[in-house]
């Protein structure tokens, strides 16, 4: 079975104060790999040429985007900076795409001295996203459950598993008629410190909403204990539970509403604040 490509994004360089950013010293990273026409979450990051993070207030950042050769440029809503627990972070806003194709993104940063720094990036908007669309039924799959230390060794690669995240199967949780937050990731085999904390981040949201929703972690691999003992990720076998979700990367986190429909979805590491706000919206709607 083909293993899911692990493409967690992140950088561990130190953050420094930036009084001025040279126009040649700024790079734009648009952090999505699976969107289709319509309104979508639009995360992006700014980096220096040496890989270092850039510290800049969101109100000094303007992001525009356009379908290549369309002649129509759009300005994204003001971005929010989402700070990661390991330092640094990403900006998030929304992008609305009316057609599939190559889209060009341009960011302008206003420096304190009044000068401007710019950078650009290009991403593909697909005809149809691989992952379930917002408003579509969530794939109902059976996921592993357990609570004892021995059971959890065979369920998750997390070295400090949270039993409550494995107490109910995903299909059974959806059948309860309450919202579900499910995160797909492999904590032990994630390639950066950025995506590793996603399960514990979801658990922080869980603690704010006990009894209001279900919270589930689905390990990407079916044999985490074998992988742990061998120390070789190549022996990993993809979990059959993730196949219907068509995940092109990891981690992914979804919120499912009381009717079993996808209400929100998040690619890559997502902060407590962003997940909390999305869940509160779903709970209020329900």
Give residue-wise pLDDT tens across range 80-97.
999 998 888 999 999 999
User: DSSP secondary-structure letter at 13?
Assistant: P
Strands 80-83 and 89-97, by their bridges, are: antiparallel
For residues 195 and 199, what is the distance between their CA atoms, to the nearest angstrom? Answer: 9
List domains and CATH numbers for the chain. Answer: 15-125 (2.60.40.10), 149-285 (3.40.30.10)
Find the mean pLDDT for residues 48-58.
82
For 60-72, what is each residue's pLDDT tens digit? 999 999 999 999 9
243 pLDDT higher than 90: yes
Residue among 186, 185, 187, 179 at smallest CA distance from 205? 179
For residues 94 and 168, what is the distance between their CA atoms, to the nearest angstrom? Answer: 33
Find the mean pLDDT for residues 243-250.
94
Q: SS3 helix, strand, coil % of the chain, rounded to 5? A: 20, 30, 50
Question: Would you say 219 and 186 are in contact if contact means Cβ atoms under 8 Å apart?
Answer: yes
What Å distances lie between residue 204 and 85, 112, 161, 197, 272, CA to CA? Answer: 12, 36, 13, 11, 7
DSSP per-residue string spanning 35-53 = --SEEEEEEEEEEETTS-E
- Please give the pLDDT value at position 11: 40
Q: How many residues does the chain have?
A: 286
Measure the N-to-C terminal CA separation of the chain; round to a whole number of Å: 39
262 pLDDT higher than 50: yes
pTM: 0.90
Which helix (H) or strand (E) covers residue 172, if one does? Answer: helix 170-175
For 134-178, what is each residue's pLDDT tens digit? 999 999 999 999 999 999 999 999 999 999 999 999 999 999 999
Find the mean pLDDT for residues 251-272.
97
For 9-33, what is each residue's pLDDT tens digit? 444 333 334 445 555 579 999 999 9
For residues 230 and 226, what is the distance between their CA atoms, to the nearest angstrom? Answer: 6
53 pLDDT higher than 90: no
pLDDT-derived band of residue 226, with 50, 70 and 90 as boundaries? very high
Question: Would you say 238 and 166 are in contact if contact means Cβ atoms under 8 Å apart?
Answer: no
């Amino acid at each position: 079975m083909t293993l899911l490509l692990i493409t967690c994004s992140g950088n561990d360089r130190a953050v420094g104060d930036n009084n001025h950013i040279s126009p040649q010293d700024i790079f734009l990273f648009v952090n999505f790999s699976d969107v289709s026409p319509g309104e979508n979450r639009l995360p992006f990051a700014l980096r220096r040429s040496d890989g270092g993070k850039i510290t800049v207030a969101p109100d000094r950042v303007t992001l525009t985007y356009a379908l290549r050769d369309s002649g129509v440029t759009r300005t994204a809503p003001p971005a929010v900076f989402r700070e990661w627990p390991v330092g640094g972070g990403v900006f998030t806003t929304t992008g609305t795409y009316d057609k599939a194709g190559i889209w060009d993104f341009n960011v302008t940063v206003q420096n304190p001295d009044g000068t401007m720094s710019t950078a650009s990036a290009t991403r593909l908007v697909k005809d149809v996203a691989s992952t379930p669309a917002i408003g579509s039924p969530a794939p109902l799959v059976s996921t592993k459950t357990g609570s004892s230390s021995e059971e959890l060794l065979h369920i998750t690669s997390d070295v400090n598993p949270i039993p409550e995240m494995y107490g109910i199967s995903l299909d059974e949780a959806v059948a309860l008629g309450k919202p579900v937050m499910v995160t797909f990731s492999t904590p032990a085999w994630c390639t950066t410190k950025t995506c590793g904390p996603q399960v514990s981040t979801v658990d922080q949201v869980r603690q704010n909403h006990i009894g209001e929703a279900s919270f589930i972690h689905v390990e990407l691999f079916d044999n985490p204990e074998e992988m742990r003992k061998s120390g070789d990720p190549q022996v990993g076998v993809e979990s059959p539970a993730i196949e219907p979700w068509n995940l092109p990367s990891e981690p992914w986190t979804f919120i499912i509403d009381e009717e079993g429909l996808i209400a929100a979805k998040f690619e890559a590491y997502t902060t407590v604040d962003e997940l909390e706000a999305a869940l509160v919206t779903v709970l209020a709607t329900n």
